[in-house]
Structure 1
């Protein structure tokens, strides 16, 4: 299933996204919150083009993994150092989360802002100290993420909170795909384009630490709540974007996430 969070008029809700035989896409409204109860349809349906897609979840925290693709570690060695035996973990605040087609604001404090396309894991139940073999029981599904980064601040600060935590620096969307197994999610093509030009093109099979290991590791020291998101790291090819450009991150079998870089008025 593909579960979207959307607004129509003054109402915000969740819905199932499907496609008819003619290729038209629809969203069927759900009762309540799909992460907090059984999935039930209300009977209301609208064309996808007639609603506004929002970030598919509002996580209490976004847990991010750094240095999880070997070629990316190499290209960033001067800024972040070499590889590590254990996953590198940092957090983005929930205030950084935006949805599909929402603007990403280029902060006045920075002179270089980079895209980082990633596969995002959505947690489906409260959990901690999850063994790797049980991770399948706590993953609700997957979405697409962009770990937008003020690269110059990351380099000067020597830690990543400010560089990664600006408002709008965590686009998520377009929906949650619940139909992938851990094995399937471990081999998906991921691309990032800027104004149509391919900048990143890799596979989640290249991750140093796989999804079961990442969820087990993170949950070993923090409790994960329904709707929390783990960004699994970005492949090689990161680079800057300028005001006015469009970033599109696509993950095979999930969807595309596009956001435009703008300045604040």
Structure 2
């Protein structure tokens, strides 16, 4: 399933993308009541495989029952596909060609840093370019959403702990990021973690380590690669993180970006993101995530 979050009177609601459009799950339940069907993405994830099965059965049952609860994508206000992760964990320098373009050695173990939920935002949202940076960069990334609790997870079992996958953009204020040895302050400004448009359940993705990724800025292709270039696979990343902390349902892992970021270009060609720019990042089978950048007016 392709799951999503949208806002109804400012409150996050669960949607499911179908051929007919976006199913408003709560609205559909008002017409066709059904026990055990969740209407919030975090509750669904915590409900596990049985909750997903019930939701899928309910959606399938709606095929010929009218369209009063079906919305067009243009009608909804998108939220982040994952709304309240207990952790947002990010992997730095995880693509060979990205390491090459930045002239840095391949890491021996995954480089981990974090973002907070203030950074979360959704498809089609506007993101302020902070007044504190002159070097805002884009980073298309594959996002992994954890589906069940685990620690010391064996690499061969790691994908069993996945709920689904999503497109993410690890926005980075390079000048702030590089001002200290710790990257966090340049990585978790408000809106610096767009996620979506969908959270795609893992059954739709045969191999997360072989998915195409692209970024366009104002229609110009900037990044064009594949997760096959990752230094550390999805399985390795999950297993490695779980050695140090318990992974829980809803945790979001952003797995790193390929070559083509602005900081990887020759100095004279580095034109960083500005108010008015429109950036679209896309991961194969997961959807295209678009955001427009605006001035910081606060």
TM-score (norm 1): 0.91
Mapped partners of 2:295, 2:213: distance in 1: 27
- Secondary structure at 2:45 match in 1: coil
Mapped partners of 1:115, 1:242: distance in 2: 11
Q: Deviations over 1:123-182 (max 9, x none)?
A: 111222111111122100100010000111122222201111111111100011114467
RMSD over aligned Cα atoms:
1.8
Mapped partners of 1:169, 1:36: distance in 2: 25
Decide which of 95, 111, 115 is 1:69's aligned counterpart.
95
Mapped partners of 1:232, 1:166: distance in 2: 19
User: Which 5+ residue runs of structure 2 have no aligned equivalent?
Assistant: 26-36, 63-68, 263-271
Query: Deviation above 4 Å: which 4+ runs of structure 1?
Result: 179-183
- Secondary structure at 1:140 match in 2: strand
Any conservation in 2 of the 1:118–1:234 contact (CA below 8 Å)? yes
How do residues 180-259 of structure 1 correspond to structure 2 at under 5 angstroms?
180=203, 183-239=206-262, 240-259=272-291
How do residues 55-94 of structure 1 correspond to structure 2 at under 5 angstroms?
55-58=80-83, 59-77=85-103, 81-94=104-117
Any conservation in 1 of the 2:162–2:202 contact (CA below 8 Å)? no
Question: Larger % of strand: which?
Answer: 1
TM-score (norm 2): 0.82
User: Which 5+ residue runs of structure 1 have no aligned equivalent?
Assistant: none
Decide which of 7, 23, 26 is 1:27's aligned counterpart.
23
Any conservation in 1 of the 2:15–2:22 contact (CA below 8 Å)? no
* Count of matched residue positions in the alignment of Structure 1 and Structure 2: 258
The alpha-carbon deviation at position 82 of structure 1 amounts to 2.2
Mapped partners of 2:173, 2:251: distance in 1: 23
Task: Pick which of 178-187 and 202-211 moved more.
Answer: 178-187
Mapped partners of 1:125, 1:134: distance in 2: 12
The alpha-carbon deviation at position 264 of structure 1 amounts to 2.2
The alpha-carbon deviation at position 199 of structure 1 amounts to 0.1
Q: Deviations over 1:58-92 (max 9, x none)?
A: 21221000111111112223xxx422111111111
Mapped partners of 2:6, 2:198: distance in 1: 9
The equivalent of 2:267 in structure 1 is none
Any conservation in 2 of the 1:8–1:50 contact (CA below 8 Å)? no
Instruction: Determine if the alignment matches structure 1 residue 159 to structure 2 residue 191.
Output: no
The alpha-carbon deviation at position 243 of structure 1 amounts to 1.4
* Higher alpha-carbon Rg: 2
